[in-house]
Amino acid sequence: MISKRRKRIGVLTGGGDCPGLNAVIRAIVKTAINIYDYEVMGFLDGYMGLVYNRFTKLSLEDVSGLLDKGGTILGTTDSFDPFNMMVDVNGEKQKKDMSRHIVDNLNMHNIEGLIVIGGINTISTAYKFTQLGIKIIAIPKNIDNDIPGTDSSFGFYSALNTATKALDKLHSTAESHHRVMILEVMGRRAGWVALQAGIAGGADIILIPEIPYDINSVIRKILDRKKSGKNFSIICVSEGCRPKNDAIEDAGEEKGALNTLSNSISAKIAGEIEAITDLETRVTILGYLQRGGDPSVYDRILTTRLGVEAVNMAAQGNYNKMAGITNNQLSPVDLSEVAYKCKNVPVEGELVKIARNMGVGFGD
């Protein structure tokens, strides 16, 4: 008697790492095996694993104990484009489209559908693969929370906790030394982390990409606080914020945390504040600290919901969509509505208005 071949799905994690990647892998594997008796093939280091056919078959034992673990057991890469990758051709480095190679590898493994976990760049690449006939389900992962089609992407709230705790700690030293303290957080294109951490951590000034700032307005806010008896100020800065009349760099959602103190926007702001006011100003850049550590309770629940939903979508044949959540309800959205787009902070939205009501300045 010939046994029926088990259905097989693939999974990969792409882009920058963040808390919750292992948790979502766990949810996918447990649902696929326990509920649908699927086989799950994990491809290593994002799309690179698909090109070079690096994979591992995932079992229930492989995902045991992953719920609270940071990072990703599959590995990832944030600077790999299979449609335009550098290869060695007769001893010379040339750019080559390796996408058909990925299609062949997926067919060789009899992969029915591929679950892609990543941010805007990763999902946009996945959308291109749907044009080649690959069945895709995306799961939104992004610290910056700038993926459209979902209330939030996992990793965001864990990073938000880290940023808020940093602001809490900076308050005491700022007050003790009568200094201006600047905390720089992730957010090249969207200011969700700075905005919400700034509100939760009691920042006096919040600078985000959506609202170009005037350094004179920032300084007026600091001096007004000093006149009122507040001898310190806390500024929460998105790494992508820019002064007025200065172009905003669009480097993609997965290029965050690359700033150093010497080239950061926060260092520039600090230098201008000190030059004009002679107030001691110190800078803290959280950088990769926001990517590390265990996922928050919210992200553990969110990753579990999204992982289970992605496998359910695969079982239903509901491909070429992202497993999103709208108004806290699972709501798949077409990849075409997500790829190459960005969810920005609405400058007239509720959160900005709340912050302004609390006396927060935005440098405008």
pLDDT at position 43 is 96
Q: Distance (Å, rounded) from C-alpha 143 to C-alpha 258?
A: 14
Low-confidence ranges of the chain (pLDDT < 50): 1-2, 248-257
Q: Which residues contact 229 (CB under 8 A, 6 or more apart)?
A: none
8 A C-beta contact, residue 205 and residue 361: yes
Q: Distance (Å, rounded) from C-alpha 138 to C-alpha 227?
A: 52
pLDDT at position 133 is 94
Q: Which residues contact 309 (CB under 8 A, 6 or more apart)?
A: 323, 330, 332
Q: Please, which residues bridge with residue 137 across strands?
A: 115, 321
Task: Using the structure block, give the residue that is written with the tokens 């480097």.
Answer: 251
The candidate with the shortest Cα–Cα distance to 22, out of 62, 60, 66, is 66
Query: Has residue 337 been placed in a domain?
Result: no
Q: Is 78 in the active site?
A: no
Domain count, the chain: 2
pTM: 0.91
123, 181: one domain: no
Q: How many CB atoms lie within 10 A of CB 359?
A: 10
Query: Has residue 364 been placed in a domain?
Result: no
Catalytic residue among 17, 45, 78, 144: 144
Q: Distance (Å, rounded) from C-alpha 358 to C-alpha 144?
A: 24
Region of residue 225 (phi > 0: left; psi between -120 and 50: alpha; otherwise: beta): alpha
95, 236: one domain: no
Query: Has residue 27 been placed in a domain?
Result: yes
Structural domain that includes position 112: 8-154+295-331
Torsion sign (Cα): 176, 178, 184, 185:
positive
Query: Has residue 195 been placed in a domain?
Result: yes
Write out the two tokens for 290. 């926001």
143, 17: one domain: yes
18, 39: one domain: yes
Query: Has residue 2 been placed in a domain?
Result: no
Query: Has residue 340 been placed in a domain?
Result: no
Query: Has residue 28 been placed in a domain?
Result: yes
